[in-house]
Amino acid sequence: MTQEKWGQLRQRLLKTVGQNNFTTWIEPLEFHQLEDGIATFNVPTNFMGNYVSQNFADLILHELRNENSSINRLNFTVAANMSEKPRSMPAKPAAAPRPAPSSALNTAPLDRRFTFDSFVVGKPNELAHAAAKRVAEGGPVTFNPLFLYGGVGLGKTHLMHAIAWELQQTRPDLSVLYLSAEQFMYRFVQALRDRKMMDFKEIFRNVDVLMVDDVQFIAGKDSTQEEFFHTFNALVDQNRQIIISADRAPGEIKDLEDRVKSRLQCGLVVDLHPTDYELRLGILQSKVEQQSKNYPDLSIAPGVLEFLAHRISTNVRVLEGALTRLFAFASLVGREIDMDLTQDCLADVLRASERKITIEEIQRRVSEHYNIRLSDMIGPKRLRSYARPRQVAMYLSKHLTSRSLPEIGRRFGGRDHTTVMHGVRRIEELKVQDGQIAEDLELLRRALEA
Ligand code: ADP
Ligand code: MG
Average pLDDT rounded to a whole number, residues 219-248: 93
Does residue 106 surpass a pLDDT of 50?
A: no
Please give the sequence-ordered ranges of beta strands (E in DSSP) within 232-279, or none if there are none.
241-246, 268-272
Residue 111 CA to ligand 2 center (angstroms) comes to 11
How far apart are the C-alpha atoms of 325 and 390, rounded to whole Å?
A: 34
CB 382 within 8 A of CB 393: no
Residue 40 CA to ligand 1 center (angstroms) comes to 35
Residue 377 CA to ligand 2 center (angstroms) comes to 47
Q: What pLDDT, on a 0 to 100 scale, did the predictor assign at position 107?
A: 53
Q: How far is CA 157 from the centre of its chain?
A: 8
Q: What pLDDT, on a 0 to 100 scale, did the predictor assign at position 303?
A: 92
Residue 14 CA to ligand 2 center (angstroms) comes to 14
Q: Which of 89-93, 124-128, 139-143, 382-386 has the lowest mean pLDDT?
A: 89-93
Q: What atom of ligand 1 comes closest to residue 214's alpha carbon?
A: 2
Residue 424 CA to ligand 2 center (angstroms) comes to 40
Q: How confident is the prediction for the chain on average, in pLDDT?
A: 87
Does residue 83 surpass a pLDDT of 60?
A: no
- Give tens-digit pLDDT for 280-316: 999 999 999 988 888 888 889 999 999 999 888 778 9
Does residue 359 surpass a pLDDT of 60?
A: yes
Domain at 359-449, CATH from 1.10.1750.10, 1.10.260.40, 1.10.230.10, 3.40.250.10: 1.10.1750.10
Does residue 161 surpass a pLDDT of 90?
A: yes
CB 43 within 8 A of CB 77: yes
Residue of 165, 317, 319 with the most ligand 1 atoms within 8 Å of its CB, for mutation: 317
Residue 156 CA to ligand 1 center (angstroms) comes to 7
Residue extents of the structural domains in the chain: 3-89, 123-271, 277-354, 359-449
The residue whose C-alpha atom lies closest to atom 23 belonging to ligand 1 is 120
Fold of domain 277-354: Helicase, Ruva Protein; domain 3 (1.10.8)
Does residue 105 surpass a pLDDT of 70?
A: no
The residue whose C-alpha atom lies closest to atom 19 belonging to ligand 1 is 155
How far apart are the C-alpha atoms of 401 and 356, rounded to whole Å?
A: 8
Single-letter residue type at 313: S
Does residue 82 surpass a pLDDT of 60?
A: no
Q: What pLDDT, on a 0 to 100 scale, did the predictor assign at position 91?
A: 35
Q: What pLDDT, on a 0 to 100 scale, did the predictor assign at position 84?
A: 44
Q: What pLDDT, on a 0 to 100 scale, did the predictor assign at position 137?
A: 93
Write the DSSP string, 292-333: HHH-TT--B-TTHHHHHHHHS-S-HHHHHHHHHHHHHHHHHH
Q: What pLDDT, on a 0 to 100 scale, did the predictor assign at position 108?
A: 61
The residue whose C-alpha atom lies closest to atom 1 belonging to ligand 1 is 153
Give me the percent of the chain exceeding a pLDDT of 70: 92
Residue 154 CA to ligand 1 center (angstroms) comes to 5
Q: What pLDDT, on a 0 to 100 scale, did the predictor assign at position 424?
A: 96
Write the DSSP string, 346-402: THHHHHHT-----HHHHHHHHHHHTT--HHHHHSS---HHHHHHHHHHHHHHHHHS-
Residue of 158, 272, 287 with the most ligand 1 atoms within 8 Å of its CB, for mutation: 158
Q: Which residues, judged by CB distance below 6 Å to any ligand atom, belong to the binding site of ligand 1?
A: 114, 118-120, 125, 150, 152-158, 283, 316-317, 320
**Residues whose CB is under 5 A from ligand 2 (ion)?**
156-157
Q: How far is CA 283 from the centre of its chain?
A: 11
Q: Which of 99-113, 308-322, 381-395 has the lowest mean pLDDT?
A: 99-113
Beta-sheet pairing, 30-35 with 38-43: antiparallel
Average pLDDT rounded to a whole number, residues 213-229: 93
How far apart are the C-alpha atoms of 275 and 317, rounded to whole Å?
A: 12
Q: What pLDDT, on a 0 to 100 scale, did the predictor assign at position 66?
A: 85
Q: Give me the CATH code for the 3-89 domain, please.
A: 3.30.300.180
Please report which confidence band the pLDDT of residue 420 belongs to, taking 50, 70 and 90 as the band edges.
very high
Tell me the backbone φ, ψ of residue 202, rounded to 5 degrees. Answer: -55, -45
Q: What atom of ligand 1 comes closest to residue 125's alpha carbon?
A: 23
Q: What pLDDT, on a 0 to 100 scale, did the predictor assign at position 97?
A: 43
CB 120 within 8 A of CB 282: yes
Q: What pLDDT, on a 0 to 100 scale, did the predictor assign at position 54?
A: 77
Does residue 277 surpass a pLDDT of 50?
A: yes
Average pLDDT rounded to a whole number, residues 104-110: 57
The residue whose C-alpha atom lies closest to atom 4 belonging to ligand 1 is 153
User: What torsion, rounded to 10 degrees, do the Cα atoms 306, 308, 314, 316 define?
Assistant: -100
Fold of domain 123-271: Rossmann fold (3.40.50)
